[in-house]
Structure 1
């Protein structure tokens, strides 16, 4: 980020850039603590395992002097090695990162749990090694994989990078060494310091055009990472969008990662206990499925792997578990429009996530659209969802609970009817949405509104463009 300004209408005033050294900020006491407190600067869903780690020794038992700044674990099961520099990175900083990656690549679950226990203990959190081990296992979406531990991802954070580093990192990435460069900047704004972290390599364009086998050695490991990322991302999208209310019933259909013969075995196994074929959804990004068979919580991939192992007696990697679970649309959650709920039929969790791009955390765009629906017109939950990148179900849920949404009575089902789940924000109101709409000039044929008065998706988009 080369230029920052404070803005007051048409006036833009430059913000002065400073640096950590100029502000007497240190790597260990300051920059490192920022990263530990906000590990998302290292990538999505990173758990910090330890920092300032130096408990490795050579074959003769002589301790090594190398000290790893930060070690993390991402949700796909890969270690994240972090090297920090408060100023311009040294010309050989990438070699330091590679050294640390080589050292941690032989760590196992026991070593990591011990390191995490010591790290938490120094910070006043008393967890024993078994609890730390479980914490690491719970963070990973799917079975623990030693093969993935051997392929650490490296992140170098510095104020700037010399060309020797950037050229080397690009070549190393092409050779299968996964290194990210993150630039940390510092600005002084109205007497306060503002820090920013910008990923400068690989850029999204580089990631898009770089083949997975070139960045992660071996097709099996690359595929495993890809499938785990897809499953994890699907869950995050669904939870973020609020598509599925807590308690939604899901039914299992084994799909990705198994042969027809194994599917037949799974069906026979389920026939012995039908509870094995169902789970309940909870809006938890780590373990959103509560399995009917044992009432334990699982990630979609973790449960699919558990079922596979229970049936075959073998372990498995690479299953995309979100493809195994479909919404039971025969059971409509309370307050959900049955017609909107029925549109979820025939789609697994992965397919549902692909339909969504918005989240339930910011409904500003939805409120803007609702304020544009004039008296005498109506629209549908689906039309609104298409414009804001959501789905009719979370749109309906939000309208029923918001209390601040403009014109919620002007939103009808796809059939042009008032939703059975519609409620006034003011419970003392005794009139109906139907009577209000008729009073505003909307014509009805029985319970269905005149389709000629419907404000559709394309009209909304024109309103936004205007």
Structure 2
């Protein structure tokens, strides 16, 4: 973030930046604690394992003096090595990060569990060693992979980066070594300090067009990482878009990573207990599936792997679990229009995520669009979703629970009828959207609105644009 302003109506006043040193703040006492308390600045789903770690030894058994600032674990099973600088990074900061990455790449589960145990104990949150071990295992989406531990991701957090660092990091990234540069900035706003963290490298464009091809061509460990990353990203997309309401039912349909013979064996196994065939969705990015067979929570891939092992007695390898779970449209969640819900029939989680990639829960644009729909006209959940880049289901769910949406009665289902899931923000209201539309001049044939009053999609788009 290069510029920050305080805003009052049409006036925007620049806020001058400050720095950690200027404010008397330090790397370990302050910046490090900010990162530990807010690990999302290091990437999605990062668990902090330890901080200020220095319990390693050289080949002679003499303890090394190097101190690792923060060590994390992301949900794909990779370690995250974090180097912190409160000012401009040193010209060789990337070498420090690489050194730490090389040291931790030899760690195993027991070493990491002990480090996490000591870290929590030192912060007054004791947890026994076995519980720490299980916590690490539960955080990883899929089986624990020693191969992925050997490929740590590195994050360097600093106020600024000299050109020597950025140029070198770009080249190392092209050589398939993952290093993120995160810039921390500080402002003083009306007596309060405001900190901002911005990932300056790699940008999404660099990851897609420069780094992704190198990862595709990497070894088996990198391919496994890509499989897990896609599965994790699919869940984050679905949760971020709010497509599936809590309680939505999913049905098991094994696809990716298994042969036809194994699919047949799974079908026979499911036939022994029909609870094995279904799971319930919750909007939790870590473990969104509650399996009917045991009531436990899983990630899509974690549950697919569990089912695979239960049937074959073998370890699964490379399953993309988000392709295994279809939306069960026979069970319509509350506040969802049945016709819109039925459009998801036979669609798996991975396919839904591809359809919704880029959508989110920021409903500001939706509110702007609804406010522009004129009296005496109506539109549909699907058309609104098309204009704002979402899907009819989350649009309908939002309207059913929103207390500030303008003109919600002017949105009907695809058939031109009031959705069964429609709810007024004021539960005491007894009139219906059809009643309001009728007073605005919209004619109804029984329960269906006159199609001539429906806004064409292109006209709806122009309302948002102008």
**TM-score with structure 2 length normalisation?**
0.94
Q: Is the 8 A contact 1:177 1:216 kept in 2?
A: no
Name whichever of 70-79 and 115-124 sits farther off: 115-124
**Cα distance in structure 2, aligned partners of 1:405 and 1:165:** 48
Unaligned runs of 5+ in 1: none
Describe how 1:67-466 pairs up with structure 2 within 5 A.
Answer: 67-212=67-212, 214=214, 218-356=218-356, 357-360=358-361, 362-466=362-466
CA displacement at 1:5 relative to structure 2: 4.0
Give the distance between the partners of 1:3 and 1:431, measured in 2 at CA.
49
Q: Counterpart of 2:239 in 1: which secondary structure?
A: helix
Distance 1:186 1:18 in 2: 5
- Bigger drift between 65-74 and 374-383 goes to 374-383
* Counterpart position of 1:18: 18
Once the two structures are overlaid, the 10-residue window that deviates more, 432-441 or 54-63, is 432-441
Seen in structure 2, the aligned counterparts of structure 1 residues 404 and 17 have a Cα distance that, compared at 3 Å, is: closer
Q: For residues 12 and 404 of structure 2, what CA distance do their matches in structure 1 show?
A: 34
Deviations 1:422-455 (A, max 9, x none): 2333333333332332222112223221112112
Separation (CA, whole Å) in 1 of partners of 2:252 and 2:275: 10
Change over 3 Å in CA distance of 1:420–1:200 after alignment to 2: closer
CA deviation profile, 1:270-296 (whole Å, cap 9, x unmatched): 233332222122222211112222222
**Distance in 2, Cα, partners of 1:216 & 1:355:** 22
Q: What is residue 37 of structure 1 aligned with on the other side?
A: 37
**1:114, 1:44 → 2: CA distance?**
24
TM-score (norm 1): 0.94
Superposed CA deviations along residues 111-160 of structure 1, whole A, max 9, x for unmatched, are: 11111111111111121112222221222111111111110001111222
**Per-residue deviation, 1:398:** 2.2
Alignment CA distance shift 1:183-1:430 (3 Å): closer
- Which of 247-256 and 196-205 deviates more? 196-205
How far apart are the structure 1 equivalents of 2:147 and 2:92? 28
CA distance in 1, matches of 2:318, 2:353: 19
Cα offsets for 1:395-421 (capped at 9, x unmatched): 222222223322222211101111222
Offset, 1:217:
8.1
Hey, what's the Cα distance between the residues in 1 that align with 2:145 and 2:175?
A: 23
Moved more, 264-273 or 131-140: 264-273
Greater mean alpha carbon deviation, residues 170-179 or residues 118-127: 170-179
Is the CA contact 2:372–2:464 (under 8 Å) kept in the aligned structure 1? no
Indicate the RMSD between aligned Cα atoms, in angstroms. 2.1
1-structure distance, mates of 2:201, 2:427: 54
Residue 297 of structure 1 and its aligned partner are, at CA, apart by 1.4
- More deviation in 422-431 or 198-207? 422-431
Q: Go from structure 1 to structure 2 and tell me whether the alpha carbon gap of 1:80 and 1:460 turns closer, same or farther (over 3 Å shift).
A: same
Contact 2:19 2:87 in 1 (8 A): yes
Partner-residue secondary structure (3-state), 2:270: helix
The answer to whether the Cα contact below 8 Å between 1:175 and 1:215 also exists between their aligned partners in 2 is no
Secondary structure in 2 matching 1:210: helix
Separation in 1, partners of 2:3, 2:372: 37
Structure 1 residue 216, shift from structure 2 partner = 8.4
